[in-house]
Amino acid sequence: MQAKYKDVLTLTAEFTQKQTNTTLGTTKETSGRIFIKRPNMFLWQTTLPESETSLLVGNDKKVWFYKPPFREGESGQVLIRKAADVQSQLAIDLLAGHADIRKEFTYKDLKEGHFELIPLKPAGDIDHLELFLEKSTNLVYMLVLFTLTGNRTELTLKHVVLNPQLSDKMFTFTPPPKTEEIH
C-alpha cells in the first residue's frame, strides 16, 4: 500500500462516513467529497444529509471548520485553528500517504487486504484502526477508527482519483459575509 501512495501528490474521492456513539447507541451517516494535496492540504466537504452540510479545510497554517446557516437570514459559523493546534489528522495522513505504517504503528494482517493498526504515539482519542485495501488497485477503500471510549467511525471511499490537478487556493477558506468567527 505504501508503495502505491508514495508518488501520489493529490487525491480526490467520494466518501460515506458512519459514526457510531456507543454511549448513546446512535449512528449518524454523512457523505460528500474529500480533496487531499501533499504535504499538508485537505478539504472535507460534507453534503448529505443537508442538516450536516459543512466544510473542513486545512493547510500547513490553518484549519477551518465551517457550518453554513440553517435558514436564510441567519449567520453561518466558522471555527478557525492554527494547524499545529489540531490534535490528530490520522485519517487524512493515512489517505495522503504521509503515515509510515511500519514506523508509526504496530500492525497486523487480519486477512488479505485487511489490517489492524495501533498508533505507537497518542493520536487524539484514537485507540486503533482497521484499514481495508481494494485487491485489484491496492488503494484504501475503507478506514475504521476506534476511539478510546469505544466509539467507531467508518469511512468508505469510492471513485478515488490519484494525482488530479488541484489548486492550492482550494485549501484556504474565506468565510461569507456575516459569518460568526470563533478563534
Can you tell me whether residue 98 is helix, strand or coil? Answer: coil
The pTM (predicted TM-score) of the whole model is 0.88
pLDDT at residue 87 in the model: 56
Tally of CB atoms within 10 A around 160:
18
> Which amino acid, one-letter code, is at 165?
Q
Instruction: Give the tens place of pLDDT for each residue, 101-113.
Output: 888 899 999 999 9
* Mean pLDDT of the chain, nearest integer: 91
Instruction: Give the tens place of pLDDT for each residue, 46-78.
Output: 999 999 999 999 998 999 999 999 888 889 999
pLDDT at residue 70 in the model: 84
**41 CB-near residues (< 8 Å, 6+ apart):** 58, 59, 60, 166, 168, 170, 171
pLDDT at residue 30 in the model: 98
Query: How sure is the predictor about 121, in pLDDT bands with cuts at 50, 70 and 90?
Result: confident
User: CATH code for 2-172?
Assistant: 2.50.20.10
Q: How far apart are CA 98 and CA 145, in angstroms?
A: 17
Buried b (16+ CB within 10 A) or exposed e, 121-137: eebeebebbbbbbeeee
Q: Please give the residue that has the higher pLDDT: either 53 or 124.
A: 53
Spans of all domains in the chain? 2-172
Distances in Å between the Cα of 128 and the Cα atoms of 2, 15, 124, 141 are 19, 20, 11, 17
Residue bearing cell 467520494: 14
Contact 106/120 with Cβ under 8 angstroms? yes
Record the cell numbers describing residue 138, joined without a space.
Answer: 491496492
Contact 63/183 with Cβ under 8 angstroms? no
pLDDT at residue 100 in the model: 80
Contact 18/147 with Cβ under 8 angstroms? no
